[in-house]
Amino acid sequence: MKILVVDDDAICRTLIVKGLEKTSHDTLEAPDGRQALRLLQSDGAISLLILDVMMPGMDGLDLLDHIRKAPYLAGLPVLICSALGNPEVVLRAANLNIAGYLLKPIDLPRLRQEVDRIEEARVRPLADLRETLSRLEVDEATYLQMLAALLEKLAQELPEIKKSCEACDAQRLSVQLASLRGAARWLGAEALADLLAKMSVANDADATRFISSLIPEMEKSAAQLREDVQRLSPLPEPTGAQK
């Protein structure tokens, strides 16, 4: 998981980053809200924001408010790490849909626990199989064939999606993503569907550049889904097996 750590205190940022790197997380750093916003707008792979409240210029809650109003950032998990613990600040943060609130000085083991909790709560690659089969009224073999067909379609569409991103063609990109998003949601491919929904906000050149940064995540999600399909598929009978 790629994590953006935003804090104007360089020592605090370093401690948090070093603590997260012990559990193999990728990290980025920003000393203020404006630089953080630029990173968020250019790197769609950021999956968690660890955010201080008191910062010069754009403070943490102003940044959080801006994030929640941006369609392609609205669902980003945010963990507040701040020395401020007064009820008014905590309530305002809670109303902006934060994932957690930790008080400084930061307890690094507790921070890692919170990060692990947030990561575990992220959307699953596949919805519950029994519920999906019941909803679709198909057997497992048919369902897996449909998932495989979705993955094949995604592989075929991916080169054209990349071309649309390179050309900053938001209208074409929206059309390309729409059918993939619908099929993924219908089949219960939750992680892929949510990622495609996040990508489908393309409406200008800036948005298409943001979406381009998400393509590696889409490829990763498709690879995970392919592994799940292979895991769920019955093993073929050995050649020459007795009937």
* pLDDT tens-place string over residues 154-204: 999 889 888 888 887 777 877 888 888 888 888 888 778 877 877 766 555
pLDDT value of residue 121: 66
Contact 219, 158 (CB under 8 A): yes
Residue ranges of the chain assigned to CATH 3.40.50.2300: 2-120
Gyration radius of the chain's alpha carbons = 21
pLDDT value of residue 239: 47
CATH topology of domain 2-120: Rossmann fold (3.40.50)
Q: In whole angstroms, how far apart are CA 226 and each of 145, 207, 219, 231?
A: 11, 28, 10, 9
Give the CATH number of domain 129-232.
Answer: 1.20.120
Q: For residues 97 and 106, give the distance between their C-alpha atoms in angstroms, rounded to a whole number.
A: 21
- What is the residue-wise DSSP string for 40-87? HHH-TTEEEEEE-S--SSS-HHHHHHHHHHSTTTTT--EEEEES---H
Please report, rounded to a whole number, the percentage of residues in the chain having pLDDT higher than 90. 28
Residue ranges of the chain assigned to CATH 1.20.120: 129-232
Q: In whole angstroms, how far apart are CA 48 and each of 77, 123, 223, 232?
A: 5, 13, 21, 30
Residue with tokens 């990349």: 162
pLDDT value of residue 234: 58
pLDDT value of residue 196: 80
Q: For residues 58 and 71, give the distance between their C-alpha atoms in angstroms, rounded to a whole number.
A: 20
Outline where DSSP puts E strands in the chain.
2-6, 26-30, 46-51, 78-82, 100-103
pLDDT value of residue 123: 60
State whether residue 29 is helix, strand or coil. Answer: strand
What is the pTM (predicted TM-score) of this model? 0.63
DSSP 8-class letter at 240: T
pLDDT digit string, tens, across residues 5-63: 999 999 999 999 999 988 888 899 999 999 998 898 888 778 899 999 999 888 999 99
pLDDT value of residue 208: 65
pLDDT digit string, tens, across residues 54-112: 998 889 999 999 888 876 777 789 999 999 888 888 888 888 888 899 999 989 999 99
